[in-house]
Amino acid sequence: MYRFLFSSKWLGYFVLALIFATGCVLLGRWQMDRRAETLAEINRVVSNYSATPIPFSAAKGQFESLDPEKEWTQVELRGRYDVAGQRVVRNRPLNGQPGYEVVVPFRLDSGDAVVVDRGWLPIGNKTPGHPDSIPTPPSGEVTVVVRLKPGEAKLDRGAVEGQLAAIELPGYAAELPYPLLTGAYGQLASESPAPASMPVAFPKPETDEGTHLSYSLQWFAFGVLMFVGFGYAARQQARNARIDAEDEDDDFGAAARVKASSKLARKSKRRTSEEEEDEILDAQGY
């Protein structure tokens, strides 16, 4: 009944179904991988974002080479801002609005220097390509709490003087007259003493895993449905073939019955010998 499945036509259909299902599985696994990455980021935020700040002496190694699991860890720094080394980072949107971020070298009492991202500024209306104003960081001895963030990759595009295209720490360090730790930078959480005005603080990262799981399950379902559809089409083909075969048998039987009836009718029309003899006698006048 299903021998037609071995025809070149149906084998081609099966190969297409297999290719489609394989693509669905790959896309589903890709979504699962993205979900795993998102969950790992959420775990880092939950574990590190609001934890008790650790001293710089315990975190110095992270500023030299950041362990991904330590991202968002709070670190307490004591020292002074180097306002002369301050830079504005271009093309930094926040909540869908274009703007900038302000990064400032922070020289610690230990003699080390790290980068602190003090926050976000909207685009300016006075001078194109520049914020209208940049809040000045606190002067003198300052205690700040920052959250560890990895440095960014170098971009091909450049920036005007006093600005950076990205928080690319080795390139930033090359512009300063003193060594800078380039394994990570700090995103500002708090400053003491607090200045009169500050850039816009960064919001807490999202801890919603998103729709990766549902998309993954949908792709897997599409792959299964492809084979369900293939099986349904094969079943319909077999059903139609069976109906056609039954119709052919019925037509053949009907034809045989008609033929037999015709023979019987012809036989029934033949005269008997008595009828022939009576016809001869009638012709002779008896």
* CA atoms of 73 and 60, how far apart (whole Å): 12
pLDDT of the residue at 5: 75
Question: What is the structure's pLDDT at 44?
Answer: 84
- pLDDT band per the 50, 70, 90 thresholds, residue 26: very high
Can you tell me the mean pLDDT for 120-126?
A: 89
Report the pLDDT value the prediction gives residue 33, as an integer from 0 to 100. 92
The secondary element (H helix, E strand) that includes residue 252 is: helix 212-269
pLDDT band at 286 (very low <50, low <70, confident <90, very high): low
For tokens 């670190």, name the residue: 75
- With 0.75 as the threshold, say if the pTM is over it: no
Average per-residue pLDDT for the chain: 87
Whether the ω angle into residue 170 lies within 30 degrees of 0, i.e. cis, is: no
Q: Which fold has domain 50-192?
A: OB fold (Dihydrolipoamide Acetyltransferase, E2P) (2.40.50)
Angle, nearest 10°, between helix axes 212-269 and 8-48?
Answer: 160
pLDDT for 270 equals: 57
**Band of pLDDT at residue 184, cut at 50, 70 and 90:** very high
- The pLDDT value given to residue 106: 98
Round to the nearest angstrom and report the end-to-end CA distance of the chain.
72
pLDDT, position 241: 77
Residue 249 pLDDT = 62
More confident residue, 246 or 171: 171
As a whole number, mean pLDDT of residues 222-242 equals 86
**Per-residue tokens: 3:** 């021998």
For residue 100, the model assigns a pLDDT of 95
Which pLDDT score is estimated for 251? 58
Cα–Cα distances in Å, from 237 out to 2, 25, 225? 9, 28, 18
Per-residue pLDDT, 9: 85
pLDDT of residue 43: 85
The answer to which of 181-190, 222-231, 240-249 has the lowest mean pLDDT is 240-249
Domain boundaries, the chain: 3-35+211-267, 50-192
Which two tokens mark 255?
């034809």
227: its two tokens = 């084979």
> Is 70 exceeded by the pLDDT of residue 252?
no
At 264, is the pLDDT very low, low, confident or very high (cuts 50, 70, 90)?
Answer: low
Phi, psi (5° rounding) for residue 81?
A: -75, 140
Average pLDDT of the residues in 30-46: 87
- Average pLDDT score over residue span 9-22: 88
